[in-house]
Structure 1
Amino acid sequence: MRAQDIPGALLELQQQHQFRQRHILETPQSSQVVIAGKSYVAFASNDYLGLANHPALIEATQQALSRWGVGGGASHLVAGHFAVHEQAEQALARYCGCEAALLFSSGYAANQAVITSLVGRGDAVFADKLNHASLNDACLLSRASFRRFRHNDLQHLEELLASTPARTRLIAVDAVYSMDGDEAPLKELLQLADKYDAWLYIDDAHGFGILGDGRGSAAENRLQGERLIYMATLGKAAGVAGAFVAASQQLVQWLVNSARSYIFTTAQPPALAAAVLASLQLIAGEPWRRTRLQQYVRSVRERLADVNFQLMPSRTPIQPIIIGRNEQAMLLAARLKERGYWVPAIRPPTVPEGTARLRITLTAAHTQDQLEGLLDCVVAATQS
């Protein structure tokens, strides 16, 4: 795009109700936040277990800062792999039941690392139509044949797998879809991967810490096998930052030696690895957080069953209400904001045209009163 075209393009976004801008938080991440001097009950954060501002994570980080300093200083392969990084990777591998794990600065970097390291020209990658943008970008960057199958449509995927001449094949899916809250049929996907000699790569950004006993979607479905590669982010339920990939020892060694987004970037601050260790203890040791979330999900689905708009089928903390038109979604979000509730309106291109929505995100940090207040306002706003 030319410089002179940008003003017109921004104006067009505004006219289509797709213009985005950042909102500055003046408080730590919590169920109650202050934005522009006003307090809101926030149902917008992916801090599902309420750990982002937990005292144990703060203390672990502070102690690690005193011991290890702030910056990583170098890439992991040069001089930036600290003992606490190694401890966190070993703990993550044990927790997920895998041979090894590898830390990344973000889920975006992890997705690029895995996909571009395993497939390239002459290979084929198969991705669900509703995959996260980071998965799609990684598929495109790999230069492999990029085939997208209809959402959760196993028959369509099998048709694509059966028709490809590619020697190396990879299936990439979100375990939990971030804008709909529904889940991929992981057991059946692994069966197809076995049948067609393909890798199965699972992005469990929104399932880790939440599903099953907290170990995420793969563990809940008891998935195992050398074809399985598991990725989860650490900035959502874990309350920290970054991501990790868990798989066989050999696969992790291959990533260390071939993944450009791992090799050519400075290591994360070592203090964050200490926070990850503290977070794992809370995820494993405080199941009441997941129990509370399950109760809140039931409350949402019971109270909003009869609203005028579609409530997406989801058993996760992601509870979207499909509104349809961009301007209508923005109007409903504004009504909630006026009443002190921060619920984001999600619009294209993040979601398909005509499916703008309110995305209610639940956390264990919310109280029952906060949730009931929100649901009262949502029912009133959607019925008026």
Structure 2
Amino acid sequence: MKEGMPLERVDPVHVRRNGRLWLDFGGCDYLRLAHSPALRQALVRAIQTHGWNVAASRLTTGNHPLYERAERKLARFFGAEAALLMPTGYTAPLAVAQALAGMFTLALVDEEAHVCLQDAAVFLGCPVRVFPHRDVDAVARWVRRLGPGARLILITDGLFGWNGAVAPLAEYRRVLPRNSWLLVDDAHAAGLLGRRGRGSVEEAGISRERLVQTLTLSKALGLYGGVVLCSREIRRRVVERSGCFGGGTPLSPALAAAVETALVELRRALPGRRRVLQEAARLRARLRAAGWEVLETPAPIVALFPADRREARRVIRALESEGIHPPWTEYPGRSAGYFRFMLAPAHTAEHLERLRRALLSVRGAQGRPDAAGRRARAG
């Protein structure tokens, strides 16, 4: 992989590249709250009042009262017993794994799990086994093989951001022993899935018993930082045992202060999900009719896998002819690049028509699916 080209985001639907404005369907600012005026104002006020940096660990002199206030708000919004802020979403599952080290005899990790989860599994101090993507039967086979004395933790994304696939959390709970744990990273699901935007855990309708949910504030919530949602006991263990938590400078207090505004803005934005999901479903249907194979997902994500480099170049030219920046993606942990489109409430009917026109110009009604597309549909 290599660095992406420099882009300047100028408003909810445009980026500037080499001095020119382009329509943007990329990224993970799902509800475009990163451009919310209310959120911007909250951050400016917080910086002016509280400064930018506590310059110390929360275990020493850096435990600002704003952190506890933000954590109470987050726990209440997501329906968890407790919450703990982390500097980034990437470090949240690492901190959890450091806190849970020694509790398990085996960790089962989805083969498509985000690299932060793969890194986190190493800290658990137990053997790690990878199971096929979203394969409930494979998990059940591991359970039968290990026998009744096993202490398991299953690690997975709730919503796989690279293509929009959703983990079958309820089915995992059905086949796992009662004493098993789930570590679910909901970086992409928080704010998108569930009636109240609580993520894949709410979407699946499962309890939070023996479950830890991690997420980031930098996607649907439009801020920055990580969050651990868990029981009070697990929160205590993370504080006491995690080097990721105690060994560094915490989140900026200004970002913590803005959490309340971000949650208010998220609640206001939630009704807009319905139109976006309908538009995404219509786009997927048109693309299938033209020969593309795309995954059906409850997220506004459309992942397209070109058959070869020649077709990828045709897609790029078609998008650029419509003034759309090509969202070519090389996702961490994946060997091949692809196009990942994300539809947002700020996209107008005219914006969506330009996208449809560009993609349908590459494959007509007799377009052919490809092997990569079949893998995408399988999730």
TM-score, normalising length: structure 2: 0.89
Taking a change above 3 Å as real, the CA distance of residues 152 and 110 of structure 1, as seen in their structure-2 partners, is same
The one of 249, 254, 258 aligned to 1:266? 249
Aligned equivalent of 1:13 = none
Structure 1 window deviating more from structure 2 (203-212 vs 297-306): it is 297-306
CA contact under 8 A between 1:124 and 1:164: conserved in structure 2?
no
1:185 paired to 2:168:
yes
Matches of 2:297 and 2:85 in 1, distance apart? Answer: 29
Which of 54, 57, 79 is matched with 1:75 structurally? 57
- Equivalent in 106, 111, 115 of residue 93 of structure 2: 111
Question: Structure 2 unaligned runs (5+)?
Answer: 368-379
Matched, 1:357 2:357: no
Give the share of equivalent positions with the same residue, in percent.
Answer: 30
C-alpha change, 1:144 and 1:319, in structure 2 (3 Å) is same
Asked if structure 2 preserves the Cα contact closer than 8 Å seen for 1:179 and 1:351, the reply is no
Question: Given residue 112 of structure 2, which amino acid in structure 1 is its aligned partner?
Answer: L
DSSP-derived class of the 2:108 partner:
strand
Note if 1:37 corresponds to 2:19: yes
Quick one: which of 57, 62, 85 aligns to 2:44?
62
Question: How many residues are matched?
Answer: 363
314 and 343 in structure 1: CA distance in 2 versus 1, 3 angstrom threshold: farther
Task: Give 3-state SS (helix, strand or coil) of 1:252's partner.
Answer: helix
Match of 2:275 in 1: 292
Does 2:76 align with 1:94? yes
CA distance in 1, matches of 2:11, 2:128: 38
Please give the secondary structure, in 1, of the residue aligned with 2:35.
coil
Q: Match for 1:370 among 320, 329, 351? A: 351
Match of residue 148, structure 1, among 122, 130, 153: 130
- Structure 1 equivalent of residue 327 of structure 2: 344
TM-aligned CA distance change 1:27 to 1:196, over 3 Å: closer
The CA distance in 2 between the partners of 1:169 and 1:78, in whole Å, is 34
Among residues 178, 184, 187, which one is paired with 1:202 in the alignment?
A: 184
Alignment of 1:312-323 (within 5 A): 312-323=295-306
The Cα of 1:288 is off from its aligned counterpart by 2.6
Tell me the CA shift for residue 121 of structure 1: 9.5
- Shift of the alpha carbon at 1:21? 2.8
SS of match in other structure, 1:329: helix
- For residues 121 and 223 of structure 1, the distance between their equivalents in structure 2, rounded to whole angstroms, comes to 22
Classify the secondary structure of the residue corresponding to 2:289.
coil
**Alpha-carbon separation, structure 2, partners of 1:364 and 1:143:** 43
Q: How does 1:118-267 map to 2 (within 5 A)?
A: 118-120=100-102, 123-164=105-146, 168-193=151-176, 195=177, 197-212=179-194, 213-267=196-250
CA distances 1:188-243 after superposition (whole Å, capped 9, x unpaired) = 122334x2521111111111101122121112322214211111111110011112
Tell me which residue corresponds to 1:301.
284
Paired with 1:343 and 1:101, the residues of 2 have a C-alpha distance of: 37
Give the Cα–Cα distance (whole angstroms) in 2 for the partners of residues 346 and 26 of structure 1.
Answer: 17
Q: 2:235 aligns to what SS in structure 1?
A: helix
Change (3 A) 1:269 1:349: closer
C-alpha contact 1:26 1:36 (8 A) present in aligned 2: no
Are the counterparts in 1 of residues 83 and 229 from structure 2 also a CA contact under 8 Å? yes
Rounded to whole Å, the distance in 1 between the matches of 2:81 and 2:217 is 19
C-alpha distance 255-59 of structure 1, shift in aligned 2 (>3 A): same
Q: Secondary structure at the match of 2:159?
A: coil
Letter in 2 for 1:220: E
Instruction: Please say if residues 168 and 204 of structure 2, whose CA atoms lie closer than 8 Å, have aligned partners that are also in contact.
Output: no
Per the alignment, in what secondary structure is the counterpart of residue 60 of structure 2?
Answer: helix
Q: Which moved more, 1:359-368 or 1:238-247?
A: 359-368
Q: How big is the shift at 1:86? A: 1.2
1:382 partner amino acid? R
SS at match of 1:320: strand
Q: TM-score, normalised by structure 1?
A: 0.88
Shift of 1:138: 1.4
**C-alpha distance 349-307 of structure 1, shift in aligned 2 (>3 A):** farther
Aligned-residue offset at 1:120: 4.6
Structure 2 counterpart SS, 1:45: coil
**3-state SS of paired residue (1:78):** coil
Q: What amino acid maps onto 1:124 in structure 2?
A: L
Task: Tell me how far apart the structure 2 counterparts of residues 367 and 105 of structure 1 sit (CA, whole Å).
Answer: 34
Cα pair distance change 1:108/1:334, threshold 3 Å: farther
